[in-house]
């Protein structure tokens, strides 16, 4: 019995990949597309999970990245923190949301979210507005 060599492990893995390819070739075009899309989605999800440190169970979805508040830009006029999203837009979270204990900044253009790392004591004070 004993241990397998690296080449034996590799050929076994290649054999599994060959079985998948053979099955796809014999499958209908629609089934091939579904399988390829599914595999690509699985790879993307697992890489994303590794990069993002898993799922954020509190907000029902994946957190793209943990971002220190010092790395975000702050718009004092709008009391808004922003951070560049890979889609080209900006993740946003308001100062009020941070004061309320929220940690997730959302991108308005895609489904990505980042977790904002901050100490509540370090936040600027909220602007007080008179009741209308």
Q: pLDDT tens for residues 17-30? A: 566 555 555 555 55
Q: What is the mean pLDDT of the chain?
A: 73
Question: Does residue 125 or residue 41 have the better pLDDT?
Answer: 125
- Model-level pTM? 0.53
Digit-coded pLDDT (tens) for 95-129: 999 999 999 999 999 999 999 999 999 999 998 87
In the DSSP assignment, the letter for residue 111 is: S
| Calpha distance 76→74 (Å, rounded) | 6
| Calpha distance 79→77 (Å, rounded) | 6
């Amino acid at each position: 019995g004993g241990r397998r060599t690296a080449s034996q492990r590799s050929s076994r893995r290649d054999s599994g990949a060959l079985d998948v390819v053979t099955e796809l070739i014999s499958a209908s075009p629609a089934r091939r597309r579904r399988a390829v899309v599914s595999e690509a989605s699985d790879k993307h999800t697992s890489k994303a999970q590794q990069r993002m440190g898993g799922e954020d169970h509190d907000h029902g979805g994946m957190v793209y990245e943990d971002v220190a508040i010092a790395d975000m830009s702050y718009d004092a006029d709008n009391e808004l923190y922003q951070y560049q999203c890979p889609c080209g837009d900006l993740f946003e979270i308001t100062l009020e949301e941070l004061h309320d204990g929220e940690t997730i900044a959302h991108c308005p253009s895609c489904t990505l979210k980042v977790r904002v790392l901050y100490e509540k004591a370090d936040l600027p004070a909220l602007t007080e507005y008179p009741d209308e």
